[in-house]
Structure 1
Amino acid sequence: MEFEVIQGDIAAQSADALVNAANTSLRMGSGVAGALKRAAGSGLNDEAVAKGPVDLGGVATTDAYDLDAEYVIHAAAMPPGGQSTAESIRNATRNALAEADALNCESLVLPALGCGIAGFDFEDGVRIICEEISAFQPDSLTDVRLIAYSEDDFVEIRRVAADVRG
């Protein structure tokens, strides 16, 4: 499927669903999770933790609270305090897309899962994510945005996405 690469704060995005870069405990700490937690209010972390733990590569869905979205899909690309793998990034991306589609979402914003604190090589991780989005066959999703926080990451994700698209 087609997707767009954008730059900004995921917590400021408007979409049917936002994807949280989670660990398997679903406890929301720093990075993407911290930004979403701060903007959504404390209920988001409480509900997420109550739905955990999930398997590596798995997802859980919560309300979006004060975010401009219906849902937050928590995609577990890493174990708590551990590192992500190519397989965990692939599965977390695929499962987040499938969950959004199953919820009849039309729009979804996701970050570079597993490529921050989880320590996976940024370019390789983004390539996996772009491949998964490109290969996904949605029923309801029509607007998928891969978001970068920094200008440098935005430029890199755009380059990798162009590469994957051919």
Structure 2
Amino acid sequence: MNFETVQGDVAAQSADALVNEAGTSLRMGSGVAGALRRHAGPEINEEAMSKGPINLGDVAVTEAYALDAEYVIHAAAMPHYGDGQATTESIRSATRNSLETAEELGCTSLVLPALGCGVAGFDLEAGATLIGETIAAYQPETLSDVRFIAYSDEEYAIVEAATEQFADA
């Protein structure tokens, strides 16, 4: 499986599945969720919320609407906004469940952001390392291309340094 870190806007990526950094309510507010909602259209938020709430670490799947993907996997690495922060276990579970769900859907490519970091309160470097470890330990059946996306130059530098030991491991 090809695993690499890329820089850009998750909503502008082309892949079988894009991962949304969701809270347990699945309400698509700001950050990654907001970017995906703006590009996909309001229907994605309506469909996502109809599938929630979900447990911390779990995922839900929606159509991708106007995004260049088949699916959006909404990974709840953090509690509902304002109800606490992401944890080591919620980040690992959300990452693993995103990978497993992509496989169940028959996806070959997946793009995911730094789940549980940023507004979710988890340190980016530590979170990126957890995500990189989880991806590297995963034994794919259909996934052949996994991209860990970072938006800003600063975020990309941190994610790249934290995951370089896992890339194409």
Q: TM-score, normalised by structure 2?
A: 0.95
- What is the CA-CA distance between 1:164 and the residue it aligns to? 4.1
Structure 1 residues 116-149: Cα deviation after superposition (integer angstroms, max 9, x where no partner): 1000011110000000000011110000000000
Instruction: List gaps (5 residues or longer) in structure 1.
Output: none
* Amino acid in structure 2 at the alignment position of 1:64: A
**Partner residue of 1:53?**
53
**Partner residue of 2:5?**
5
Instruction: List gaps (5 residues or longer) in structure 2.
Output: none
Q: How does 1:69-80 map to 2 (within 5 A)?
A: 69-80=69-80
**Partner residue of 1:96?**
98
Deviation beyond 2 Å, 4+ runs, structure 1: 163-166
- What is the CA-CA distance between 1:2 and the residue it aligns to? 3.8
- Asked whether the equivalents of residues 2 and 134 of structure 1 are also in contact (C-alpha less than 8 Å), the reply is no
**Partner residue of 1:143?**
145
Aligned-residue sequence identity (percent) comes to: 63
Q: How does 1:90-129 map to 2 (within 5 A)?
A: 90-129=92-131
* Alpha-carbon distance in 2 for matches of 1:162, 1:50: 38
Cα RMSD after superposing both structures: 1.1
- What is the CA-CA distance between 1:61 and the residue it aligns to? 0.2
**Partner residue of 1:35?**
35
* Alpha-carbon distance in 1 for matches of 2:141, 2:23: 27
SS of the residue corresponding to residue 3 of structure 1 reads strand
- Asked whether the equivalents of residues 55 and 76 of structure 1 are also in contact (C-alpha less than 8 Å), the reply is yes
- Asked whether the equivalents of residues 84 and 119 of structure 1 are also in contact (C-alpha less than 8 Å), the reply is yes
* Amino acid in structure 1 at the alignment position of 2:30: S
SS of the residue corresponding to residue 56 of structure 1 reads coil
